[in-house]
Amino acid sequence: NLSTKLDKAFKTLKGQGSITEINVAATIKEIRRALVDADVNYKVAKEVTDKIKDEAMGRDVLTTVSPGQLMTKIVYDELTQLMGGQKEDVVMKGDPAVILLSGLQGSGKTTFAGKLATFIKKQNRTVLLVACDVYRPAAIDQLKVLGEQVGVEVYSEPENKNPVEISQNAIAYAKKNNKKVVIIDTAGRLAVDEQMMKEIEQVKRAINPSETLFVVDAMTGQDAVNTAKTFNDRLNFDGVVLTKLDGDSRGGAALSIRAVVEKPIKFISTGEKMEALDLFYPDRMAQRILGMGDVISLVERAQQQFDEDEAKRINQKIRKNQFNFDDFLSQLEQIKKMGNLKDLVGMIPGMSKQIKDIDIDDDAFKPIESIIKSMTPQERSTPEILNGSRRRRLAKGSGTDIQQVNNLMKQFEDMRKVMRTMNKMSSTKGGMAQMA
Ligand code: GDP
Ligand code: MG
């Protein structure tokens, strides 16, 4: 599977201190090949791996995690993001709410109609299934059998060959009979066909559903992407249902479809039984595509451990009055990792109201960082040596001005003063813990 392939790809990275341009190039190529093997469309795979490369470059590799594992985590995060990040629910608005199903013949529409009816019924809503596949009498029977099986009424008009009329009549029937959700099963062709497209377009226009779902067989790989695009161009559907994920399909279609039509995948279907329906979770699908077990939690744990060790180390330095610019920079990194600065400040009691209207720019740290990064190692560890000419050099090197450098020096000195005072207080009053 992809995970083993990634392992192989990461061999070149093993034993390296950080991920660099040279050692990442071969890996990226392998990842791209592995994604294509998992049915991800080539163009999408290329976009994904380019992003992953940007993300990976220059990341420090923690001692307890191999570069391979770190890369896997980066790949996993990127895939999850690309598939929408979070699950999205089907929209049921209106009385009755109408859900229209579209897709090729054999994609699993009728089966999904039964599953969705079961799913919605469990939420204590009354459901009506509507048979609009008017070309095959067997299709109507199939839905009737499913309806009986799951205890949901099926509306059909075997003599009427007009799906627009049937669906309108069905909605009127639902209103009269207090059905809250109407699911319309439609006909499909073996390949995309103009008459079928027109027909479902007309149905959509006539009944204005709150949700139009496109049902697609995940096993069809590249074709799934093309079909999705054709349907979306005509129907502008709201969401995708991926079926037959119980087979040996590797789920790559999920990524490609999402990337190409930019519509969320809402359900996955994993079998012929009525219970075999799941909501779509991007992170789980990313795991499926990667097939990678617990690599992620391993990396997360290592990351956490690293943060804790770092916090301890800095605490020690503060206590010994040895806090320097290296530590300052490390603190900045930690803060940035914790996310949005405004959110962070907002968590301080009483602060959220005060900062509500103030813009806190996440780039606010940029000049500070570039000034510190322009320092020599000696200047970072012993800031006292930063005289006028050194400061001018820093301003030049960091693209800031002398005023900004002086401000930073002043802030830094103030910080150290506070730390020294706190240390003195704690040594006379018996420890920092009591101050809190
Ligand atoms: P429709 O033509 O789009 O209505 O497709 P059907 O619902 O009739 O399904 C076509 C075939 O695929 C049937 O044999 C179903 O039992 C089968 N099928 C549908 N969904 C799934 C699924 O999630 N997994 C598997 N293994 N088979 C499925
Ligand atoms: Mg059908």
Q: Is residue 304 part of a domain?
A: no
ipTM: 0.99
Residue type, 242: L
Task: Tell me phi and psi for residue 367, to 5 degrees.
Answer: -60, -40
- Under the phi-then-psi rule, with left for phi > 0, alpha for psi from -120 to 50, and beta for the rest, what region is 399? left
Q: Are residues 81 and 101 in the same domain?
A: no
Give me the pLDDT at residue 350, please. 46
Q: Cis check for the bond before 67: say yes or no (omega within 30 of 0).
A: no
Domain of 200, in residue numbers: 97-280
Read off the pTM. 0.67
C-alpha–C-alpha distance, residues 88 and 92, integer Å: 12
Q: Are residues 137 and 186 in the same domain?
A: yes
Q: Are residues 16 and 134 in the same domain?
A: no
Q: Are residues 240 and 219 in the same domain?
A: yes
Give the CATH number of the domain where residue 121 resides: 3.40.50.300
Q: Are residues 269 and 126 in the same domain?
A: yes
Q: Are residues 66 and 115 in the same domain?
A: no
**Ligand 1 centroid to residue 141 C-alpha, Å:** 15
Contact 107 CB / ligand 1 (< 6 Å): yes
CA nearest neighbour of 375 among 326, 314, 331, 330: 326
Give the CATH number of the domain where residue 77 resides: 1.20.120.140
Query: Of 100, 102, 110, 111, which is best to mutate to test ligand 1, by the most ligand atoms within 8 angstroms of its C-beta?
Result: 111
Give me the pLDDT at residue 435, please. 38
Give me the pLDDT at residue 117, please. 97
Give me the pLDDT at residue 183, please. 98
Q: Which two tokens stand for residue 20?
A: 């660099």
**Ligand 2 centroid to residue 288 C-alpha, Å:** 28
Q: Are residues 65 and 142 in the same domain?
A: no
Q: Is residue 298 part of a domain?
A: no
Which of 259, 280, 301 represents a domain boundary (last residue)? 280
Task: Tell me phi and psi for residue 66, to 5 degrees.
Answer: -80, 155
Give me the pLDDT at residue 433, please. 41
Give me the pLDDT at residue 288, please. 77
Q: What's the average pLDDT block by block, 10 residues per block, for the chain (436 residues)? A: 58 53 68 79 88 77 62 84 90 96 95 96 96 90 96 94 96 97 93 89 96 93 88 96 81 86 93 89 84 54 67 82 85 65 51 55 78 93 93 94 92 82 66 39
Which of 65, 86, 107 represents a domain boundary (last residue)? 86
Span between the terminal Cα atoms of the chain, in Å: 52
Per the structure, how many domains does the chain have?
3
Query: Of 104, 132, 184, 272, which is best to mutate to test ligand 1, by the most ligand atoms within 8 angstroms of its C-beta?
Result: 272
Q: Are residues 173 and 274 in the same domain?
A: yes
**Ligand 2 centroid to residue 223 C-alpha, Å:** 19
Predicted confidence (pLDDT) per residue in 286-311, tens digit:
887 776 544 555 555 566 666 777 77
Q: Whose CA is nearest to atom 10 of ligand 1?
A: 106
Give how far Cα 110 sits from Cα of 101, 103, 144, 146, 188, Å.
9, 10, 10, 9, 10
The 3-state secondary structure of the chain reads: CHHHHHHHHHHHHCCCCECCHHHHHHHHHHHHHHHHHCCCCHHHHHHHHHHHHHHHCCCECCCCCCHHHHHHHHHHHHHHHHCCCCCCCCCCCECCEEEEEECCCCCCHHHHHHHHHHHHHCCCCCEEEEEECCCCHHHHHHHHHHHHHHCCEEECCCCCCCHHHHHHHHHHHHHHCCCCEEEEEECCCCCCCHHHHHHHHHHHHHHCCCEEEEEEEHHHCHHHHHHHHHHHHHHCCCEEEEECCCCCCCCHHHHHHHHHHCCCEEEEECCCCCCCEEECCHHHHHHHHHCCCCHHHHHHHHHHHHHHHHHHHHHHHHHCCCCCHHHHHHHHHHHHHCCCHHHHHHCCCCHHHHCCCCCCCHHHHHHHHHHHHCCCHHHHHCHHHCCHHHHHHHHHHHCCCHHHHHHHHHHHHHHHHHHHHHHHHHHHHCCHHHHC
